[in-house]
Amino acid sequence: MLVLALAMVPVAKSEAAVACGDFVGGTVVLTANLDCSAAGGYTAIGIGADDTVIELNGHTLSGGRDLIGVDVSSYNNVTIRGPGVIRGFWLGVRAGNGRGLTVEGVRFDDLGMGISDNHGQDAVILENEFFGMDFHGIQFATVAAGQPDSTGGLVRGNSFDGGGTAIELCGMQTYGHNISRNRIQNQSHFGIVLSDETHRNRIAGNDVDNSYGGLALFNAQRNRIVSERYTSGTLGVWMYSQPPGSCLNTGLRRVNGNRFNGMSLFELQTAVQFGADGVPGSVRRNQFLDSKVYNNERGLVFATDSRENTATGNALFGTVLPIQDSGTANTTSPNYCDSGAC
Write out pLDDT tens, residues 315-333: 999 998 999 999 999 999 9
Q: Report yes or no: 139 and 133 within 8 Å, Cβ to Cβ.
A: no
- Can you give the pLDDT at residue 3? 37
**One-letter amino acid identity for 250?**
T
- Can you give the pLDDT at residue 223? 98
* Residues above pLDDT 70, as percent of the chain: 95
Identify the band that residue 40 occupies on the pLDDT scale cut at 50, 70 and 90: confident
Residue 77 lies in a domain: no
Parent domain of 215: 112-341
How far is residue 89 CA from its own chain's centroid? 19
- Can you give the pLDDT at residue 2? 38
Identify the band that residue 16 occupies on the pLDDT scale cut at 50, 70 and 90: low
Average pLDDT estimate for 2-19 = 49
Residue 281 lies in a domain: yes
Give the global pTM. 0.94
Residue 256's CATH number = 2.160.20.10
CA atoms of 162 and 115, how far apart (whole Å): 15
Average pLDDT estimate for 122-131 = 98
Identify the band that residue 15 occupies on the pLDDT scale cut at 50, 70 and 90: low
Contacts of 195 (CB under 8 A, 6+ apart): 168, 169, 170, 171, 216, 217, 218, 219, 220, 242, 245, 247
67-107 confidence digits (pLDDT tens): 999 999 999 999 999 999 999 999 999 999 999 999 999 99
Phi, psi of 73 (to 5 degrees): 60, -135
- The strand ranges marked E within 89-212 are 91-96, 102-104, 107-109, 113-118, 124-126, 129-131, 136-141, 150-151, 154-156, 159-163, 165-170, 174-175, 178-180, 183-187, 190-195, 202-204, 207-209
Contacts of 279 (CB under 8 A, 6+ apart): 240, 241, 242, 305
CA atoms of 235 and 333, how far apart (whole Å): 22
Residue 167 lies in a domain: yes
Residue 308 lies in a domain: yes
CA atoms of 307 and 319, how far apart (whole Å): 23
224-272 confidence digits (pLDDT tens): 999 999 999 999 999 999 999 999 999 999 999 999 999 999 999 999 9
Q: Report yes or no: 143 and 171 within 8 Å, Cβ to Cβ.
A: yes
Residue 165 lies in a domain: yes
Residue 25 lies in a domain: no
pLDDT at 213 over 60: yes
Residue 65 lies in a domain: no
Residue 272 lies in a domain: yes
Average pLDDT estimate for 162-166 = 97
Identify the band that residue 13 occupies on the pLDDT scale cut at 50, 70 and 90: low
CA atoms of 3 and 27, how far apart (whole Å): 24
What mean pLDDT, rounded, does the chain reach?
94
pLDDT at 8 over 90: no
Say how many domains are in the chain.
1
CA atoms of 186 and 100, how far apart (whole Å): 30
**Coil, strand, or helix at residue 5?**
helix
